[in-house]
């Protein structure tokens, strides 16, 4: 193994592709920032207990996929596998919910870690942009979040995504359904592990991808038939609000999600160009999570969109983001004196807010012009001894190819004018 190799299931973001990741994070967070969501950042690790209680002892995420460690001081920590439990923990710790301004609306962007079997679109280190609206039960809030995610994806130019929507019921009706489902499942022909799952998390059995299991599930009791009136009414209102916003979705009563904290509204954004790892984002309501981690009753809703898979989805659809060139002006000095002078001009440009770069390393004209081209700069400044003797620099418009001599003292101002 080469020492230059990133750990299994991880990859580095390097230019130029890394620019797409930044643009995706920006595009996903923009609608949130415009809708009253404030930025929150939490540590990359938490006490294991938070996720065990929050995400759920019976989930794959907690039982199989957490990176856990014991510190030298004896603390049991885990690299965060997701953001919701951490964000809620932080909001409670800072008493944000007591400021009298509910819901507390927060957005975040960061790295998450799951020890999963790596494959295309599934990594051990990945990144999400997420949003959580804490402390309010209101179908308009669920609708707002779904609409904002849809808006973000459309703004990026994605078209081949679908929104799957379901309701998982609440603490009144879900236990009744759970029992009915367990009774049904116990009579089926299933392997040991699945039988264990029936007792811990029977809804997850519905999610089993194997055909022989799915075949036996045709007559399984449907959650829809067990939803209480309050849950039904709530779900209808969410559906009506997103429909009125022109957001297209599909009802998917099989959608259960891989985290235990969900109640009522759950949804997933799936992209059809991604193969088996098709979920680009997901979320839902988690009215009981605060109490599960020792807080007060705070009904909440949120989502997280996977940045890695969103980039893969863009690539699958062949969407080219309109990324503006990073550098506007590229300076090419020929000789020591020109290097000093042009370096001064570049500094002046940068201080004036114009993105400028410089041919470092004293390369020849040909190589330096190649770099200028590659930088995407609209203008290059070239100066050699003769130019300096005349007190000018050569200003070249890289689009038209036109070149003209500009007095050195006016170069920065002229560029500022041309670049608007």
142 neighbors 26 (Cβ within 8 angstroms): no
C-alpha distances out from residue 329 to 15, 36, 346, Å: 19, 37, 8
Q: Is 257 among the annotated ligand-binding positions?
A: yes
Write down the least CB distance from residue 368 to ligand HAM, Å.
40
Binding-site size, ligand HAM (CB under 6 A): 26
- The reply on whether position 139 binds ligand HAM by CB under 6 A is no
- The reply on whether position 304 binds ligand HAM by CB under 6 A is yes
Write down the least CB distance from residue 158 to ligand HAM, Å.
13
Write down the least CB distance from residue 20 to ligand HAM, Å.
16
| Count of CB atoms situated within 10 Å of the CB of 249 | 17
Which x/- pattern, by CB under 6 A, does the window 309-328 give for ligand HAM? x-------------------
- The reply on whether position 283 binds ligand HAM by CB under 6 A is yes
Closer residue to ligand HAM, CB minimum distance, 25 or 396 = 25
Which x/- pattern, by CB under 6 A, does the window 98-117 give for ligand HAM? ----------------x-x-
Bin 166: left if φ > 0, else alpha if -120 < ψ < 50, else beta: beta
Beta strand ranges found along 42-103 (DSSP E): 45-47, 68-70, 76-79
Q: Is 262 among the annotated ligand-binding positions?
A: yes
Which residue stretch of 70-78, 151-159, 296-304, 388-396 sits at the interface with ligand HAM (rule: CB under 6 A)? 296-304
Q: Is 114 among the annotated ligand-binding positions?
A: yes
Q: Is 210 among the annotated ligand-binding positions?
A: no
Q: Is 113 among the annotated ligand-binding positions?
A: no
133 neighbors 32 (Cβ within 8 angstroms): no
User: How far is 330 from 200, CA to CA, in rounded Å?
Assistant: 62
3-class secondary-structure state, position 245 = coil
Closer residue to ligand HAM, CB minimum distance, 168 or 329 = 168
CB contact set of 137 (below 8 Å; sequence gap of 6+): 287, 299
Q: What is the DSSP letter of 162?
A: E
- The reply on whether position 137 binds ligand HAM by CB under 6 A is no
Cis peptide before 16 (omega within 30 of 0): yes
- The reply on whether position 201 binds ligand HAM by CB under 6 A is no
- The reply on whether position 204 binds ligand HAM by CB under 6 A is no
Start-to-end CA distance of the chain, whole Å, equals: 51
- The reply on whether position 126 binds ligand HAM by CB under 6 A is yes
Taking CB under 6 A as the criterion, which residues in 51-90 touch ligand HAM? 82-84
Cis peptide before 103 (omega within 30 of 0): yes
- The reply on whether position 153 binds ligand HAM by CB under 6 A is no
3-class secondary-structure state, position 402 = coil
Closer residue to ligand HAM, CB minimum distance, 79 or 342 = 79
3-state percent breakdown (helix, strand, coil) of the chain, nearest 5: 40, 20, 40
Q: What is the DSSP letter of 319?
A: P
Radius of gyration in angstroms for the set of CA atoms belonging to the chain, rounded to a whole number = 27
Which residue stretch of 23-31, 242-250, 278-286, 350-358 sits at the interface with ligand HAM (rule: CB under 6 A)? 278-286
Interface pick for ligand HAM out of 31, 139, 299, 306 (rule CB under 6 A): 306
Closer residue to ligand HAM, CB minimum distance, 185 or 270 = 270
- The reply on whether position 339 binds ligand HAM by CB under 6 A is no
User: How far is 89 from 111, CA to CA, in rounded Å?
Assistant: 17
Q: Which of 266, 256, 270 is nearest to 309 (CA)?
A: 270
User: Cβ-closest residue to ligand HAM?
Assistant: 306
Contacts to ligand HAM by CB under 6 A:
82-84, 114, 116, 122-123, 126, 128, 130, 132, 258-259, 279-284, 286, 302-304, 306, 308-309
Q: Which residues are annotated as a binding site for L-histidine?
A: 82-84, 114, 128, 132, 257, 261-262
């Amino acid at each position: 193994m080469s020492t230059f190799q990133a750990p299994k299931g991880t990859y580095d973001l390097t230019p130029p592709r890394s620019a797409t990741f930044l643009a995706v994070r920006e595009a996903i967070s923009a609608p949130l920032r415009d809708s009253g969501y404030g930025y929150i950042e939490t540590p990359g690790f938490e006490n294991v207990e938070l996720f065990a209680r929050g995400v759920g002892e019976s989930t794959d995420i907690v039982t199989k996929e957490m990176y856990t460690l014991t510190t030298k001081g004896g603390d049991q920590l885990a690299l965060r596998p997701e953001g919701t439990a951490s964000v809620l923990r932080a909001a409670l710790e800072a008493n944000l919910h007591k400021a009298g301004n509910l819901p507390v609306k927060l957005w975040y962007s960061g790295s998450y870690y799951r020890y999963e079997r790596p494959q295309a679109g599934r990594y051990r280190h990945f990144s999400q942009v997420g949003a959580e609206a804490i402390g309010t039960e209101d179908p308009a809030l669920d609708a707002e979040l779904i609409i904002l995610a849809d808006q973000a994806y459309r703004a990026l130019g994605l078209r081949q995504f679908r929104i799957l929507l379901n309701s998982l019921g609440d603490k009144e009706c879900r236990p009744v359904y759970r029992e009915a489902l367990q009774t049904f499942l116990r009579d089926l022909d299933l392997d040991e592990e699945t039988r264990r799952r029936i007792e811990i998390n029977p809804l997850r059995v519905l999610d089993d991808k194997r055909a022989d299991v799915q075949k036996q599930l045709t007559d399984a009791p449907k959650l829809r038939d067990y939803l209480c009136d309050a849950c039904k009414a709530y779900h209808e209102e969410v559906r009506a609000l997103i429909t009125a916003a022109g957001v297209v979705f599909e009802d998917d009563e099989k959608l259960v999600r891989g985290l235990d904290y969900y109640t009522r509204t759950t949804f997933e954004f799936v992209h059809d160009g991604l193969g088996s790892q098709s979920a680009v984002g997901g979320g839902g309501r988690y009215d009981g999570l605060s109490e599960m981690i020792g807080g007060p009753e705070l009904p909440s809703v949120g989502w997280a969109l996977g940045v890695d898979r969103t980039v893969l989805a863009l690539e699958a659809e062949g969407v080219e983001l309109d990324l503006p060139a990073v550098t506007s002006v590229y300076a090419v000095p020929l000789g020591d004196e020109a290097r000093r002078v042009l370096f001064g001009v570049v500094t002046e440009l940068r201080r004036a807010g114009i993105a400028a770069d410089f041919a470092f390393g004293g390369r020849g004209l040909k190589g330096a012009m190649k770099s200028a081209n590659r930088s995407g700069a609209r203008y290059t400044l070239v100066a050699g001894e003769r130019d300096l003797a005349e007190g000018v620099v050569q200003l070249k418009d890289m689009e038209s190819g036109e070149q003209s001599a500009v007095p050195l003292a006016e170069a920065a101002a002229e560029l500022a004018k041309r670049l608007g």
